[in-house]
């Protein structure tokens, strides 16, 4: 696996759009990585399957699928499922604007015509190229995802029925069933984590903390849809730090009242509260839809989450 397309967001200032474009050297490196990685796969398949495998035909099918620039959902129905699978992986890992498709195909053909390199040496070369790319490419992807998140939040804010809760969490409810009470620690929900396309059972503890801490503000509904932005983690951490600071001040004031005039406690003797751990740098916005799993009103069919991705 070269890269994960859904790279986590980098919290902080969103840079201008121009800063999100991949520089020429990075585009060349990505093209070289794709070409080398695909050539290595074709050579490995040829070594494993012998004469039953046709490297030139496989390369031609990869070139056709990759040049089209679109993921083919049913790989099994293509003439070369392996080549289609490799193409799909690459198209999901890199955005088309970040490599030169023609140059990539040309380099792959050149590499396949060369003498077979030492497998370990070639693996080290590709790994070194991957490390070089990661240092530059990850921040660019985070900036793009941050911009996408901002657009989504702004569009949501303009829609009727979307509420903004604490920590920047946005919520939209599906009303109409007053028998379905608030989400609480004693129930289980059927939910969808849209960012990972997972449909599964969600316990209350599975929900992000930014949602759980304000459960009292969430009304009864047929379903709830939440958008938890990346910056919610920073706001939540600041909220916790503020509460910890207030608690420490209250303890200090109580200690002072207990000691009174007999002895003034030094700063070293006052109880201290450790600073909260900083949120992870790499976080991403999450969209979660929750249905109450109620025996009297069961969820019969979950929607196709692939049609409702952001």
pLDDT digits (tens, 9 = 90+) for 233-261: 888 888 888 888 888 888 888 887 777 65
**Percentage of residues in the chain with pLDDT exceeding 70?**
71
Mean pLDDT of the chain: 77
Q: Helix/strand/coil (H, E, C) string of 87-123? A: HHHHHHHCCHHHCCHHHHHHHHHHHHHCCCCCHHHHH
Residue 253 CB-half CA count within 13 A: 6
pLDDT given at position 300: 45
What is the distance between the alpha carbons of residues 269 and 255, in angstroms, rounded to a whole number? 10
Residue whose entry in the numeric block shows the structure tokens 């903004």: 164
Domain ranges of the chain: 11-155, 162-230+284-307
Whole-number Å distance between alpha carbons of 306 and 22: 28
* Closest by CA position to 193, among listed 284, 294, 71: 284
**What is the rounded distance in angstroms from the CA atom of residue 115 to the CA atom of residue 118?**
9
Q: Give the burial class of 30: count Cβ atoms within 10 A of its Cβ; 0-12 exposed, 13-18 middle, 19 or more buried.
A: buried
Q: Among 54-68, 72-86, 184-198, 259-273, whose mean pLDDT is lowest?
A: 184-198
Tell whether the model's pLDDT for residue 27 goes beyond 90: yes
Where does residue 12 fall: left (phi above 0), alpha (psi -120 to 50 degrees), or beta otherwise?
Answer: left
Closest by CA position to 172, among listed 207, 224, 232: 224
Q: What is the pLDDT of residue 125?
A: 95
Label residue 13 by pLDDT band (50, 70, 90).
Answer: very low
Q: Which of 16-20, 35-39, 77-81, 239-243 has the lowest mean pLDDT?
A: 16-20
Which residues partner with 236 through β-bridges? Answer: none
Examine the pLDDT at 104 and tell me if it is beyond 60: yes
């Amino acid at each position: 696996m070269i890269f994960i397309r859904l790279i986590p967001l980098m919290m902080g200032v969103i840079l201008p759009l121009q800063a999100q474009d991949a520089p020429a050297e990075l585009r060349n490196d990505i093209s070289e990585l794709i070409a080398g990685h695909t050539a290595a796969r074709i050579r490995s398949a040829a070594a494993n399957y012998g004469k039953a495998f046709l490297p030139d035909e496989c390369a031609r099918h990869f070139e056709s699928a990759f040049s089209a620039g679109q993921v083919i959902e049913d790989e099994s129905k293509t003439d070369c499922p392996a080549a289609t699978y490799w193409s799909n992986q690459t198209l999901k890992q890199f955005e088309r604007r970040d490599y030169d498709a023609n140059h990539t195909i040309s380099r792959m053909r050149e590499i396949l015509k060369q003498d077979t390199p030492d497998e370990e040496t070639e693996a080290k070369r590709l790994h070194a190229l991957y490390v070089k790319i990661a240092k530059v490419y990850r921040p660019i992807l985070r900036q793009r995802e941050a911009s996408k998140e901002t657009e989504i939040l702004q569009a949501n804010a303009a829609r009727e029925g979307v509420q903004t809760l604490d920590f920047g969490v946005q919520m939209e409810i599906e009303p109409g069933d007053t028998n379905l009470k608030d989400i609480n620690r004693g129930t289980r929900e059927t939910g969808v984590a849209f960012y990972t396309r997972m449909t599964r059972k969600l316990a209350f503890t599975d929900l992000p903390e930014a949602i759980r801490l304000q459960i009292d503000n969430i009304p009864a509904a047929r379903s709830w849809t939440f958008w938890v932005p990346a910056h919610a983690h920073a706001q939540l951490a600041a909220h916790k730090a503020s509460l910890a600071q207030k608690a420490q001040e209250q303890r200090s004031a109580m200690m002072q009242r207990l000691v009174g005039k007999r002895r003034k406690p030094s700063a070293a003797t006052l109880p201290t509260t450790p600073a909260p751990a900083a949120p992870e740098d790499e976080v991403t916005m999450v969209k979660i839809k929750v249905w109450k799993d109620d025996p009297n009103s069961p969820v019969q069919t979950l929607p196709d989450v692939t049609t409702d991705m952001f």
